[in-house]
Protein backbone atom coordinates (compact mmCIF):
# COMPACT_ATOMS: atom_id res chain seq x y z
CA UNK A 1 0.00 0.00 0.00
CA UNK A 2 1.27 3.50 -0.77
CA UNK A 3 0.68 6.68 1.21
CA UNK A 4 1.48 10.17 -0.01
CA UNK A 5 1.44 12.17 3.24
CA UNK A 6 1.56 11.71 7.03
CA UNK A 7 -2.18 12.21 7.00
CA UNK A 8 -2.70 9.30 4.63
CA UNK A 9 -0.51 7.13 6.85
CA UNK A 10 -2.60 8.11 9.89
CA UNK A 11 -5.79 7.34 7.96
CA UNK A 12 -4.44 3.90 7.05
CA UNK A 13 -3.64 3.41 10.74
CA UNK A 14 -7.18 4.40 11.68
CA UNK A 15 -8.54 1.71 9.38
CA UNK A 16 -6.26 -0.85 11.03
CA UNK A 17 -7.26 0.31 14.50
CA UNK A 18 -10.94 -0.05 13.70
CA UNK A 19 -10.68 -3.62 12.46
CA UNK A 20 -7.95 -5.23 14.53
CA UNK A 21 -8.99 -8.00 16.94
CA UNK A 22 -7.73 -8.27 20.56
CA UNK A 23 -4.51 -10.19 21.03
CA UNK A 24 -2.90 -8.77 17.89
CA UNK A 25 0.80 -7.93 17.95
CA UNK A 26 2.00 -5.54 15.25
CA UNK A 27 5.75 -5.55 14.66
CA UNK A 28 6.88 -2.39 12.87
CA UNK A 29 9.94 -2.37 10.68
CA UNK A 30 11.53 0.66 9.11
CA UNK A 31 14.21 3.14 10.07
CA UNK A 32 14.18 6.48 11.83
CA UNK A 33 11.54 8.77 10.33
CA UNK A 34 9.89 5.97 8.36
CA UNK A 35 6.51 6.79 9.87
CA UNK A 36 6.05 4.11 12.55
CA UNK A 37 4.85 6.52 15.23
CA UNK A 38 2.65 8.33 12.71
CA UNK A 39 0.98 5.02 11.84
CA UNK A 40 0.69 4.17 15.55
CA UNK A 41 -1.14 7.47 16.17
CA UNK A 42 -3.69 6.53 13.51
CA UNK A 43 -4.11 3.03 14.91
CA UNK A 44 -4.76 4.53 18.35
CA UNK A 45 -7.39 6.84 16.89
CA UNK A 46 -9.08 3.90 15.18
CA UNK A 47 -9.07 2.09 18.50
CA UNK A 48 -10.86 5.01 20.14
CA UNK A 49 -7.90 6.20 22.23
CA UNK A 50 -8.52 9.80 23.25
CA UNK A 51 -5.16 10.59 24.83
CA UNK A 52 -2.41 11.94 22.65
CA UNK A 53 -0.03 9.23 21.49
CA UNK A 54 3.68 10.10 21.59
CA UNK A 55 6.79 8.06 20.99
CA UNK A 56 7.75 5.91 24.00
CA UNK A 57 11.45 6.14 23.12
CA UNK A 58 12.64 6.96 26.65
CA UNK A 59 10.00 5.14 28.66
CA UNK A 60 9.99 2.01 26.43
CA UNK A 61 6.23 1.53 26.86
CA UNK A 62 3.12 3.69 26.92
CA UNK A 63 -0.30 2.19 27.64
CA UNK A 64 -3.58 3.69 26.51
CA UNK A 65 -7.23 2.91 27.01
CA UNK A 66 -9.33 2.38 23.89
CA UNK A 67 -11.94 -0.20 22.92
CA UNK A 68 -9.18 -2.54 24.11
CA UNK A 69 -5.91 -1.75 25.91
CA UNK A 70 -3.23 -0.38 23.58
CA UNK A 71 0.40 -1.01 24.49
CA UNK A 72 2.91 0.93 22.45
CA UNK A 73 6.48 -0.32 22.78
CA UNK A 74 9.64 1.28 21.41
CA UNK A 75 12.37 -1.35 21.32
CA UNK A 76 15.02 1.09 20.06
CA UNK A 77 16.82 0.98 23.39
CA UNK A 78 16.38 -2.75 23.91
CA UNK A 79 19.39 -4.70 22.79
CA UNK A 80 17.99 -8.22 23.06
CA UNK A 81 14.77 -10.25 23.21
CA UNK A 82 15.73 -11.09 26.82
CA UNK A 83 15.48 -7.40 27.74
CA UNK A 84 11.99 -7.33 26.24
CA UNK A 85 11.07 -10.36 28.41
CA UNK A 86 12.39 -8.47 31.44
CA UNK A 87 10.07 -5.52 30.89
CA UNK A 88 7.10 -7.88 30.67
CA UNK A 89 6.82 -8.97 27.04
CA UNK A 90 4.19 -11.62 27.68
CA UNK A 91 1.84 -9.23 29.50
CA UNK A 92 2.48 -6.48 26.94
CA UNK A 93 1.53 -8.90 24.16
CA UNK A 94 -1.47 -10.27 26.10
CA UNK A 95 -4.60 -11.63 24.47
CA UNK A 96 -6.75 -8.76 25.81
CA UNK A 97 -5.15 -5.91 23.91
CA UNK A 98 -3.24 -4.60 20.93
CA UNK A 99 0.53 -4.39 21.13
CA UNK A 100 2.49 -2.15 18.73
CA UNK A 101 6.25 -2.57 18.65
CA UNK A 102 8.56 -0.04 17.00
CA UNK A 103 12.09 -1.24 16.20
CA UNK A 104 10.78 -4.80 16.45
CA UNK A 105 13.96 -5.96 14.69
CA UNK A 106 15.71 -5.61 18.08
CA UNK A 107 13.44 -8.15 19.78
CA UNK A 108 12.52 -10.37 16.82
CA UNK A 109 13.12 -13.65 18.63
CA UNK A 110 10.65 -12.68 21.39
CA UNK A 111 7.76 -12.06 18.98
CA UNK A 112 5.00 -14.61 18.44
CA UNK A 113 4.87 -16.35 15.06
CA UNK A 114 1.43 -14.78 14.50
CA UNK A 115 2.71 -11.21 14.81
CA UNK A 116 1.60 -8.96 11.96
CA UNK A 117 4.65 -7.41 10.34
CA UNK A 118 4.21 -3.85 9.06
CA UNK A 119 7.20 -2.55 7.17
CA UNK A 120 7.38 1.09 6.12
CA UNK A 121 9.70 1.87 3.23
CA UNK A 122 10.58 5.10 1.46
CA UNK A 123 8.45 5.87 -1.55
CA UNK A 124 8.84 8.06 -4.54
CA UNK A 125 9.36 11.51 -2.98
CA UNK A 126 9.82 12.92 0.55
CA UNK A 127 6.20 12.42 1.63
CA UNK A 128 5.69 9.06 -0.04
CA UNK A 129 5.83 5.78 1.86
CA UNK A 130 5.23 2.14 1.02
CA UNK A 131 3.47 0.26 3.81
CA UNK A 132 3.78 -3.49 3.52
CA UNK A 133 1.53 -5.55 5.76
CA UNK A 134 2.05 -9.26 6.11
CA UNK A 135 0.26 -11.75 8.32
CA UNK A 136 -3.30 -12.50 9.30
CA UNK A 137 -5.71 -11.05 10.21
CA UNK A 138 -4.86 -7.61 8.84
CA UNK A 139 -3.80 -8.68 5.39
CA UNK A 140 -7.36 -9.75 4.60
CA UNK A 141 -9.03 -6.76 6.25
CA UNK A 142 -7.42 -4.07 4.14
CA UNK A 143 -8.07 -3.08 0.53
N1 LIG B 1 3.65 9.42 4.02
C2 LIG B 1 4.15 9.65 5.25
N3 LIG B 1 3.81 8.83 6.27
C4 LIG B 1 4.31 9.04 7.52
N5 LIG B 1 5.16 10.03 7.85
C6 LIG B 1 5.54 10.87 6.88
C7 LIG B 1 5.05 10.72 5.54
N8 LIG B 1 5.58 11.71 4.78
C9 LIG B 1 6.36 12.43 5.58
N10 LIG B 1 6.34 11.95 6.86
C11 LIG B 1 7.10 12.52 7.98
O12 LIG B 1 8.06 11.56 8.40
C13 LIG B 1 8.20 11.62 9.82
C14 LIG B 1 7.83 10.28 10.40
O15 LIG B 1 8.09 10.34 11.78
P16 LIG B 1 7.68 9.18 12.76
O17 LIG B 1 6.30 8.73 12.50
O18 LIG B 1 8.02 9.66 14.14
O19 LIG B 1 8.70 8.03 12.30
P20 LIG B 1 9.33 6.80 13.10
O21 LIG B 1 8.47 6.53 14.29
O22 LIG B 1 9.32 5.69 12.10
O23 LIG B 1 10.73 7.22 13.46
C24 LIG B 1 7.30 12.72 10.32
O25 LIG B 1 8.04 13.90 10.43
C26 LIG B 1 6.25 12.82 9.21
O27 LIG B 1 5.69 14.10 9.12
MG1 LIG C 1 8.86 6.28 16.32
Residues near ion ligand 2 (CB < 5 Å) are 36-37, 55, 102
pTM, entire model: 0.96
pLDDT number for residue 142: 67
- The pLDDT-based confidence of 58 (bands split at 50, 70, 90) is confident
The response to whether residue 12 sits with its C-beta less than 6 Å from ligand 1 reads: no
pLDDT number for residue 135: 79
Residues 8-48 have pLDDT tens digits of 999 999 999 999 999 999 999 999 999 999 999 999 999 99
Q: Angle between the 6-19 and 36-46 helix axes, to the nearest 10 degrees?
A: 40
What does the pLDDT average to over 96-111? Answer: 97
The response to whether residue 30 sits with its C-beta less than 6 Å from ligand 1 reads: yes
DSSP 62-85: EEEESSSEEEEEEGGG--SHHHHH
Residues 45-78 as b or e (16 or more Cβ within 10 Å = b): bbbebeeebeebeeebebebebebbbbbbbbbeb
3-state class of 22 per DSSP? coil
What does the pLDDT average to over 111-135? Answer: 95
Residues 71-87 have pLDDT tens digits of 999 999 999 999 999 99
pLDDT number for residue 138: 73
Whether 90 shows a pLDDT value over 70: the answer reads yes
What is the topology classification, in CATH, of domain 22-120?
Rossmann fold (3.40.50)
Amino acid sequence: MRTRSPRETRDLGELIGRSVPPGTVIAFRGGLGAGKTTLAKGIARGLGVEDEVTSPTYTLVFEYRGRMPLRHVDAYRLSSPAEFEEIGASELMGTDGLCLIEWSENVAAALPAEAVVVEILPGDGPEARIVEISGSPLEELLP
